[in-house]
């Protein structure tokens, strides 16, 4: 494994930033040659100070240009990686540790929002960060956070999909920013207070746009959902795991409204999200003496968390301590499934665990990472 210096106990080299990149800073070695031992310590210190002051002035000027560029551009570029090593402590081989902001910058969340299977996952993660972890992000991570959020809002305004999720996210984020701005001085804020005020104004503007969003009625000459037989419409409703989706679906047609009020539908939903012991504590009966499963679901929802379902999530390898996006479900690879079944050599070529795993059976070491688990990974 690489070390930071010639020996793991050494403090490492001194480096300076130049136009060609970072270079090792050697104090006058190229000019002194073999006569360096003949100089007194005082003369060497004076020469080092003169050279160092000149370099500091040059570096400061470049930093001002870089800050001006970053503050006047909406996008910030990060090297997006397929996987990252989650390091929780310093060792002789690895110095430092991975933070939540670093993981958010390095993993490709901007591309993930374009995938319908990962969209809800990213939105939920942004919502959890807004509630509790926003102030722990670095300045670069905060800028990347709001860049991803802007892409999500623009996407929803363009394709009119999932506006309810984004409204909930913006409500939580605006509440957090109002508290931070009102209690400035009592908590640590990275960045100028004016930047946070501008962010709050932007969020309020996005909320106004989403509230004024008008979804046009789609006119189709082909078969619609209402044309399907009743048992097929009922089977579709039974596949839903979100109560709000069932209610919204029931508001479209009288037939779907009747199907959405089915007691068995809400019973299945309660059994999916909650345990039987929780039923007994909050049992609700109707006037006819039957269990009101719909009312009981919303009552249980107040006391217990519902199960979260995502089409695709981040994966964590317990053997390698690596966090990565699952690469198995890309559509082009799915087209090759018939050929992969016939050709074992071709299957080995396309087999990808998503990260350089050294385990004998990588699949047995993988754990799906929920949004809350993602945040918990970086709590030290």
- 352-380 pLDDT per residue, tens: 556 778 888 888 888 899 999 999 888 76
Distance CA 118, CA 148 (A): 13
Q: CA nearest 314: which of 304, 327, 326?
A: 326
pLDDT band at 123 (very low <50, low <70, confident <90, very high): very high
DSSP 341: H
- Is residue 297 within 8 A of residue 247, CB to CB? The reply is no
| pLDDT (average), residues 340-348 | 46
* Confidence check: pLDDT of 126 > 80: yes
Q: Which of 248, 247, 245, 292 shows the shortest CA–CA distance to 270?
A: 292
Alpha carbon separation from 17 to 21, 45, 62 (Å, rounded): 6, 21, 9
76/63: higher pLDDT:
63
Per-residue pLDDT at 259: 92
Higher pLDDT pick, 66 / 196: 196
* pLDDT tens per residue, range 274-331: 888 887 777 777 777 788 888 889 988 888 888 888 888 999 988 888 888 876 544 4
Across 130-152, average pLDDT: 90
What is the distance between the alpha carbons of residues 112 and 369, in angstroms, rounded to a whole number? 15
For residue 231, give the 3-state DSSP assignment.
helix
Rounded to two decimals, the pTM is: 0.69
- Tens digits of residue pLDDT in 261-280: 999 999 999 999 988 888 77
**If DSSP states are collapsed to H, E and C, what string results for 63-94?**
HHHHHHHHHCCCCCCCCCECEEECCCCCCCCC
């Amino acid at each position: 494994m690489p070390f930071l210096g010639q020996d793991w106990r050494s403090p490492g080299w001194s480096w300076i930033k130049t136009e060609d990149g970072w270079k090792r800073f050697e104090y006058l070695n190229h000019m002194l040659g073999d006569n360096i031992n003949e100089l007194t310590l005082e003369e060497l210190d004076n020469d080092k100070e003169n050279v160092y002051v000149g370099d500091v002035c040059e570096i400061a000027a470049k930093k001002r240009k870089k800050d001006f560029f970053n503050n006047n551009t909406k996008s910030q570029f990060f090297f997006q990686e397929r996987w990252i090593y989650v390091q929780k402590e310093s060792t002789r081989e690895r110095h430092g540790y991975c933070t939540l902001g670093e993981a958010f910058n390095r993993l490709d969340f901007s591309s993930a929002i374009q995938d319908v299977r990962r969209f809800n996952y990213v939105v939920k993660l942004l919502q959890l960060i807004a509630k509790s972890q926003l102030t722990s992000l670095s300045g670069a991570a905060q800028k990347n956070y709001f860049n991803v959020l802007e892409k999500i809002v623009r996407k929803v305004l363009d394709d009119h999909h999932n506006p309810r999720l984004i409204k909930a996210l913006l409500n939580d984020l605006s509440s957090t920013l109002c508290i931070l701005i009102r209690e400035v001085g009592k908590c640590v804020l990275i960045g100028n207070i004016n930047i946070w005020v501008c962010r709050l104004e932007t969020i309020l503007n996005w909320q106004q746009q989403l509230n004024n969003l008008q979804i046009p009625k789609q006119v189709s000459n082909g078969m619609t959902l209402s044309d399907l037989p009743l048992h097929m419409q009922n089977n579709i409703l039974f596949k839903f795991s979100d109560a709000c989706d069932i209610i919204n679906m029931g508001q479209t047609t009288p037939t779907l409204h009747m199907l959405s009020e089915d007691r068995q539908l809400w019973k299945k939903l309660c059994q999916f999200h909650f345990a039987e012991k929780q039923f007994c504590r909050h049992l609700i009966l109707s006037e006819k003496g039957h269990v009101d499963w719909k009312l009981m679901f919303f009552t249980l929802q107040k006391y217990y968390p519902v199960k979260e379902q995502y089409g695709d999530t981040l994966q964590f390898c317990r053997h390698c301590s690596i966090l990565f996006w699952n690469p198995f479900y890309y559509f082009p690879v799915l087209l090759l499934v018939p050929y992969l079944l016939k050709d074992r050599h071709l299957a080995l070529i396309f087999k990808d665990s998503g990260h350089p795993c050294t385990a004998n059976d990588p699949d047995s070491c993988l754990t799906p990472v929920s949004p809350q688990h993602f945040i918990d990974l970086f709590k030290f």
